[in-house]
């Protein structure tokens, strides 16, 4: 038996928190980053003004670690919280989800950037204390509700929307690649169909949405891009079997993250989008390579290693290639990919540029 739970969401201006959350209780622990709480905290407080709901606000820390979620989970129980609110980007929302799971409480999310689908998914990415990747923590269900305030997201740095689009379009390409040739159960088949909405709307609205975000305008284009990044991608993640949630693009990212300074210099979604180009080159789908490369250039996403300041050097990339071909995201793909195949694809992407 498989249970499938979805995350409800509200999109627009402001938060209607009381109507959604009051049935769960009156006391919430709000975890967020300093910048996130500054961006969205007042809107949240105003939405609860004059009600019997109370907030206790805390800065979650710097990393989403196993120790942090256990510590905050214990704190939530001690303070008698009825629910956990998460406000911010991926790490803040993942910390809140992990905290809620540790405390046995419902969680509600308030993304302040559109860089990830963390607000709607049923997992957290856990890191070690030094900031390196640790593991994925999977939960029984996602947040009960995700509050998407377009005005707050329009004021966020545009680079996060851009990186979110890079990560989102990867969901389309990786899902179709990893499911190739399989007879899919209903849930995975539905998720794969929804993955089409992780690419087509971005091709139509993405460039305009990025311009609107830079101008802090709430527009239809911005809403379409935000919903693709936050909702469509999250739905795919919830519906498909875990084997279909990633492929070469994400695996290459985790390999590149081994290079000193890489994560500090390149946003996750930007690097994943480059990884899609490499995956398409491995698959020798040159028409899609050219289409996607043109789109990435229009968005300002790096389309080559050189643009990410990484030399195309086989010796330097040896650990990257090893990690890529052996990563968990490569466990279910239509054919084996070797280090040589991956490096030749990277060479081709550089040459085509």
What tens digit of pLDDT does each residue of 108-118 get?
A: 999 999 999 99
Residue 327 backbone phi and psi in degrees, to 5: -70, 160
Is the model's pLDDT at 56 over the cut of 80?
A: yes
Same domain? 85 vs 224: no
Alpha carbon separation from 213 to 71, 117, 155, 169, 170 (Å, rounded):
36, 18, 7, 18, 21
Residue 291 CA to residue 281 CA, distance in Å, equals 12
Residue 57's domain comprises 8-154
pLDDT confidence of residue 127: 87
Same domain? 212 vs 179: yes
The CATH number linked to 183 is 1.20.1090.10
Residue 182 lies in a domain: yes
Q: Choose among 50, 57, 48, 89: nearest CA to 76.
A: 57
pLDDT confidence of residue 4: 85
Same domain? 118 vs 227: no
Residue 232 CA to residue 171 CA, distance in Å, equals 9
Among 99, 128, 154, give the residue marking a domain's end.
Answer: 154
Q: Say whether pTM exceeds 0.85.
A: yes
- The first and second tokens of residue 150, run together, are 């377009």
Average pLDDT value for the chain: 96
Same domain? 131 vs 173: no
Residue 2 lies in a domain: no
Residue 70 lies in a domain: yes
Is the model's pLDDT at 132 over the cut of 80?
A: no
Same domain? 224 vs 125: no
The CATH number linked to 87 is 3.40.50.1970
Contact 249, 279 (CB under 8 A): yes
Same domain? 28 vs 82: yes
Same domain? 341 vs 208: yes
pLDDT confidence of residue 221: 98
Same domain? 95 vs 230: no
Q: Choose among 138, 23, 124: nearest CA to 69.
A: 124
- The first and second tokens of residue 120, run together, are 């709607």
Query: Quick one: average pLDDT of 231-249?
Result: 96
Same domain? 104 vs 138: yes
pLDDT confidence of residue 135: 87
Same domain? 262 vs 297: yes
Residue 85 backbone phi and psi in degrees, to 5: -110, 140
Among 121, 154, 187, give the residue marking a domain's end.
Answer: 154
Residue 67 lies in a domain: yes
Is the model's pLDDT at 353 over the cut of 80?
A: no
Is the model's pLDDT at 94 over the cut of 80?
A: yes
pLDDT confidence of residue 337: 98
Percent of the chain with pLDDT over 90: 94
- The number of folded domains in the chain is 2
Residue 292 lies in a domain: yes
pLDDT confidence of residue 130: 82
Q: Choose among 118, 115, 116: nearest CA to 107.
A: 118
Burial of 220 (0-12, 13-18, 19+ CB in 10 A): exposed
Confidence of residue 133 (pLDDT cuts 50, 70, 90): confident
Place of tokens 């004021």: 155
């Amino acid at each position: 038996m498989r249970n499938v739970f979805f995350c409800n969401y509200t999109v627009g201006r402001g938060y209607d928190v009381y109507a959604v959350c009051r049935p769960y209780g009156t006391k919430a622990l709000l975890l967020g980053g300093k910048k996130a709480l500054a961006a969205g905290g007042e809107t949240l407080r105003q939405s609860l003004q004059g009600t019997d709901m109370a907030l206790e606000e805390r800065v979650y820390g710097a990393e989403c670690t196993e120790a942090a979620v256990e510590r905050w989970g214990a704190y939530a129980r001690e303070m008698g919280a009825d629910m956990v609110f998460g406000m911010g980007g991926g790490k803040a929302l993942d910390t809140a989800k992990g905290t809620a799971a540790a405390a046995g409480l419902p969680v509600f999310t308030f993304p302040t950037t559109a860089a990830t689908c963390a607000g709607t998914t049923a997992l957290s990415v856990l890191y070690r204390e030094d900031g390196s990747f640790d593991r994925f923590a999977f939960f029984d269900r996602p947040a009960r509700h995700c509050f998407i305030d377009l005005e707050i997201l329009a004021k966020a740095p545009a680079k996060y929307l851009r990186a979110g689009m890079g990560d989102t379009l990867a969901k389309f390409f990786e899902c179709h690649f990893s499911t190739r040739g399989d007879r899919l159960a209903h849930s995975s088949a539905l998720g794969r169909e929804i993955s089409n909405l992780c690419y087509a709307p971005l091709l139509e609205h993405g460039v305009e949405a990025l311009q609107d975000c830079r101008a802090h305008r709430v527009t239809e284009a911005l809403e379409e891009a935000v919903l693709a990044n936050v909702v469509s991608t999250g739905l795919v993640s919830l519906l498909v079997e875990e084997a279909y949630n990633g492929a070469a693009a994400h695996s290459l990212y985790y390999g590149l993250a081994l290079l000193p300074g890489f994560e500090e210099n390149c946003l996750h979604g930007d690097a994943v989008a480059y990884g899609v180009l490499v995956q398409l080159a491995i698959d020798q789908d040159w028409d899609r390579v050219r289409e996607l490369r043109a789109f990435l250039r229009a968005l300002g996403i790096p389309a080559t290693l050189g643009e990410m300041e990484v030399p195309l050097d086989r010796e330097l990339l040896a650990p990257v290639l090893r990690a890529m071909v052996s990563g968990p995201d490569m466990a279910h793909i239509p054919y084996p990919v070797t280090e040589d195949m991956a490096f030749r694809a990277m060479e081709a992407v550089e040459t085509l540029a």
